[in-house]
Amino acid sequence: MTAGDGAAPPFRMTGGVVRRDGREVLSGVDLRVAAGDVLAVMGPNGAGKSTLVKALLGLVPLAAGRTEIYGEPPARFRGWQRIGYVPQRLPMGGGVPSTVREIVSSGRVARRSRWRPVLFTDRAADRAAVDRALEAVGLTGRARDSAHLLSGGQQQRVLIARALAGEPDVFVMDEPTAGVDAGSQAALAATLRGLAEAGRTVVLVAHELGPMEPLITRTVELEYGRIVRETASDASNDTVGGGTRGSAT
């Protein structure tokens, strides 16, 4: 068994510091995300929420401290099929525009083994997972459309579907409801409820929780790159764990 297996939690950051343009935007963050947590990362604009989740994923380097994914530093971590990341917006490449289905299908890539040929049964499983993900976000009818022609809220749903298609253990979602209408927010909350009930781990950056609030088991609030408050609630069985949830101000 390696350090990446067993009891290591999905994420563990100790004394995490990130500097941007010579300025500290994350200052000594300690955060452990346990399997099954549905963690909300809240705080005002510029508090460092996106930077924190990118640092957890190894997408921005730490200037000091340490962070691990399932017990491995991000550079050594190899289990990327276990992680689904929903970034704030769809990165727009300069090449041929991708269809919704192509982008959602790319969520399956990390599941492929380089050492094994792709079998007919793999392709069928991929198609079924992509179909389910499109259905979950209500984009089945837009599968053949160019993603760059969709509204911002629809593009957000494409990114959520890409993560769902990978069937990961952990979802990291950076403001998945920004610019998304109320109906789609409720649909996302229903999807998250299913993931939480299936024991998936969710890290959710949000300004407001809206219909997702009852699903949240822990909240951390960031200000000026520091965790200033941490509250716990047990959303799964209604017993209050480490106190009541405070509302972000």
Ligand X SMILES: Nc1ncnc2c1ncn2[C@@H]1O[C@H](COP(=O)(O)OP(=O)(O)OP(=O)(O)O)[C@@H](O)[C@H]1O
Q: Which residues bind ligand X (CB under 6 A)?
A: 20-21, 25, 43, 45-51
Q: What are phi and psi of 165, to 5 degrees?
A: -60, -30
Q: At what angle do helices 182-197 and 152-165 cross, to 10 degrees?
A: 10
Strand partners, 67: 13
Looking at the Cβ atoms of 21 and 238, the one nearer to ligand X is: 21
Sheet arrangement for strand 64-69: 23-33, 11-20, 64-69
CB atoms < 10 A from the CB of 242, how many?
12
Q: Are 86 and 176 in contact (CB under 8 A)?
A: yes
Looking at the Cβ atoms of 136 and 248, the one nearer to ligand X is: 248
Smallest separation, CB 52 to ligand X (Å): 7
Smallest separation, CB 227 to ligand X (Å): 12
Looking at the Cβ atoms of 222 and 235, the one nearer to ligand X is: 222
Looking at the Cβ atoms of 50 and 98, the one nearer to ligand X is: 50
Smallest separation, CB 19 to ligand X (Å): 9
Looking at the Cβ atoms of 41 and 187, the one nearer to ligand X is: 41
Looking at the Cβ atoms of 55 and 137, the one nearer to ligand X is: 55
Smallest separation, CB 47 to ligand X (Å): 4
Smallest separation, CB 119 to ligand X (Å): 41
Structure tokens at 33: 């995300």
For residues 13 and 83, give the distance between their C-alpha atoms in angstroms, rounded to a whole number: 16
Structure tokens at 165: 């298609």
For residues 192 and 37, give the distance between their C-alpha atoms in angstroms, rounded to a whole number: 12
Smallest separation, CB 23 to ligand X (Å): 7
Q: Is 231 helix (H, G, I), strand (E, B) or coil?
A: strand
